[in-house]
Structure 1
Amino acid sequence: MGEPISAGKRRARLKVINPRSAGIDVGSRFHDVAVPVELDPNPVRKFSSFTKDLIALAEWLLAVGISTIAMESTGIYWVPLYEILSGKGIDVFLVNARHAKNVPGRKTDINDAQWLQQLH
């Protein structure tokens, strides 16, 4: 059910508008997913892009109460994930990577997922 990832240093959080949001950095082989730390002891996880793992990703998000997601992708890798998530009733927003790339500090996919979650 997704491999927990050490989130490293925590940044100051923005004012929470939607406490049930997640952020996903979509890649060709893996997707990094971040949920609010209040919802899961392992709030950042990595899932592979195989269908069974995308379904596990969606089920984890539903289990922690996520209702909306912002995800970024520079290719077409978002399409299967979008179909699975929206099919399960989650509101999914595909964001322009160029608009969301101003990640403070060191650039990693994990930071991108956390930044998307905070912005959303």
Structure 2
Amino acid sequence: MVEYTSEQGAVSVSSSVFSNITGQAATNCFGVKGMAYRSMTDGLVHLLRREAMSKGVNITYNDDKTISIELHIVVENGVNLPAVCRSIISEVRYVVTKNTGVTVRAIDVCVDSMIL
């Protein structure tokens, strides 16, 4: 959780806020089918529905009040993976910083599966 304090009060931004913003930004990029989640029971990758997108995002809080993000995604078959990943990194960094004011130190995009 990131907390801002001023003479007017305090504001806390939880992990679920970062996860939801990140999931929305990533799935709006071209070539992304959705967020992915690897099941611990069967080891298979599952495409997450919109309401469960936050399971495909891991947020790490750094000591310098920045965050690091790890995304697990499913992409369409035949897309240029480096281009899609660059687009996601750029979009997520911009949207998270714009909406929360928190600096994003690192974004790791893990492509877990491709769908036809």
By the TM > 0.5 criterion, same fold? no
Please report the TM-score for the alignment, with normalisation by the length of structure 1.
0.26
TM-score scaled to structure 2, two decimals? Answer: 0.27
Larger-Rg structure: 2
